[in-house]
Amino acid sequence: MIPINAPQIGEEEIEAVIKVLKSGILTHGLGAGPMVKGFEEEFAKLVGAKYAIAVNSGTAALHMAVVASGAKRGDEVILPSFTFVATAETVVMAGAKPVFVDINPETYTISPEEFEKAITRRTKAVIAVDLYGAPADMKPLREIADKHGLKVIEDAAQAHGAMYNGKPVGAYADVACWSFYASKNMTTGEGGMITTNDSELAEKLRLIRCHGEKQKYMSTLVGHNYRMPEIEAAIGLVQLKKLPGFLAKRRENAERLTAKLWGTENLQLPKEQPNCRNSWYLYTVRLKEASRYKRDAVVEQLRGKGIGAEVYYPWPIHSMPPYRKFKRLNLTETEKASEQVFSLPVHPGVETDQVDFVAETVLSLI
């Protein structure tokens, strides 16, 4: 089976973990051990941010970002429904209410026009998701948010290395949140990062990360235990060095797949928007005019031939039982996409002949 994604771990990561174990420093009371500090510094350089705060998951990063934005009970946060559930989950965890809006059918990212329609006096923030590694259209989102005095949170969990308007994703947001889950473009096993250029927000995020403590055993606000262990940070430092190579291979595989599938009448291929550079976390195609049943049948046939095709995401968040009660605008494009898209493997472990096999198999089935 060619998996949809696979962590690329080598001897360097193993040696880095052993080094941490031998050092005896496995974590730090305030969340900033030597490996974590080094990882934060290097990641901040990668994305062009002044501050980076390492945490133990991408979900933790999102929760902290929503809390730090000031969203609380009675407030609303606008976001797409076509994303992983953590994006909405963390809004509810903060006590606020998610408001779901529709997406651009080409990029599958939040529609700025739909965002603006959903703004009320209760709106506190917007969360834009760089879905599949494709940057959200951040400039108009930023302009709309500034006009209404709203915070902008960017869920960049799938977008390490992606660029928007010549800048790394996250540049137009107040806070950007990243994941290092095992399937991501780079991994620490689990883990996450928050980046920002706002010194006050950075300080608040550091407090939230570790029980609200600025010094041990003295909490100045209500926080959580979201520290990143030293072992994860050590893996992250090695993976950061490998990330350019990982991204180049993903791009090579994605471009080859596009060349092979180009011109297929009933298949919408992913494409980079003007002034954008995708990270190609997932290569997501769309079976035009298809029903969910037909799409799912194609995915099962691909799996039967050894191709780990996957559907991200078959159920939009607003259709899930815990989230049906929350406000939503017209979600026509979201619901259509959830019935028609599926993703194909392009991760760095996929060889050229496997890319060709994937393309040939897709063409034979559709």
- Asked whether the domain spanning 242-365 has the same topology as the one spanning 11-238, the reply is no
Q: How many CA atoms lie within 13 A of 46 on its CB side?
A: 24
11-238 CATH fold? Aspartate Aminotransferase; domain 2 (3.40.640)
The pLDDT score that the predictor gives to residue 147 is 98
| 221-250 pLDDT, tens digit each | 999 999 999 999 999 999 999 999 999 999
**Residue 66 near residue 107, CB atoms below 8 Å:** no
Where exactly are the structural domains of the chain?
11-238, 242-365
The pLDDT score that the predictor gives to residue 214 is 85
- B/e letters for 277-301, b = 16+ CB within 10 Å, e = fewer, are bbbbbbbbbbbeebeeeebeebbeb
DSSP H or E segment with residue 349: none
The pLDDT score that the predictor gives to residue 171 is 97
Enter the pTM of the model.
0.96
The pLDDT score that the predictor gives to residue 28 is 86
**Residue 348 near residue 250, CB atoms below 8 Å:** yes
The pLDDT score that the predictor gives to residue 153 is 98
The pLDDT score that the predictor gives to residue 218 is 85
The pLDDT score that the predictor gives to residue 212 is 86
Which residues neighbour 140 within 8 Å (Cβ) at sequence distance 6 or greater?
112
The pLDDT score that the predictor gives to residue 140 is 98
**Residue 285 near residue 269, CB atoms below 8 Å:** yes
Q: How many Å apart are CA 169 and CA 131, to the nearest integer?
A: 12
- Which residue is it, tokens 């209410």? 97
Which residues neighbour 55 within 8 Å (Cβ) at sequence distance 6 or greater?
31, 61, 64, 191, 192, 193, 194, 209, 226, 227, 228
Q: How many Å apart are CA 308 and CA 299, to the nearest integer?
A: 8
> Which residues in the chain show pLDDT less than 70?
none
- Is CATH 3.40.50.1000 correct for 242-365? no
